Structure 1
Amino acid sequence: MLVRLAVTLAIAAGPVWAQETSAGEGRDLFLYFCAECHGKDAASQGPMAEMMALQPPDLTHLAARNSGAFPIEAVAKQIDGRQPIAAHGDMPMFGPTLDEDQFVALALPSGQPMMVSRALGNLITYLQTVQR
């Protein structure tokens, strides 16, 4: 009985969390929320960067700075505010802005899924595409 209930709930919840991410939608979010500081090319040369006490990081080298693996969990936690970084400076936390009712599971290097809003998943998917 419990197995049948669990399967029924998983099937019913599927459309809510089993969404695909979109680098194109992530790029749009990046240009709207992030480009002023990190630059349109994500290389930290946005128009606000020169006015900041700390230079925004070059987001095109996140994987390179992490032994070649894109740090999905750390990026998600920094963007949504679960892991504020003191050295990061004045980055606003976009978790509430990117919150929505649809979720995606991002695969961490350990193989474990990390549930994030679809908007945050799209943004992370886009950041993965700009790695050098």
Structure 2
Amino acid sequence: MAKKKNMNIKKGDVVRVIAGKDKGAEGKVISVLAEQDRVIVEGVNRIKRHTKVVNQGGRAGTTGGIVTQEAAIHVSNVMLLVDAPKGGDDKGKVTSRIGFRRDEVTKRRPDGSTYTAQRSVRIARKSGEEI
């Protein structure tokens, strides 16, 4: 059985491309392909795919032609965008590496009693804020 890979970029994150033909482009992560270490980013790495006309009968099955869609990009070529740290010269969004922090949380059992547990949260290394 293959070992599960830990990817810090998640679906829905806003990222900036840091390498390749679309360097500097920003977009939202549509999907994460953990097995191949790749992500699909909205509006980035667009390719034209030629699709065949399929006649399945009726009105539904006659689609075909050239379709433009996003292709996967390696996860090492993107960086997470976060709000600029307060007190810095940067305005708006900046790229940041991702770290993890363990936080103590209080949980409640169905019978009403409480206990403490730890929860892992993603943090931006640049600002230290929770993502």
What TM-score, normalized to structure 2?
0.21
State the structure with more CA Rg. 2
Tell which has more relative contact order, 1 or 2 (C-alpha 8 A, sep 6+): 1
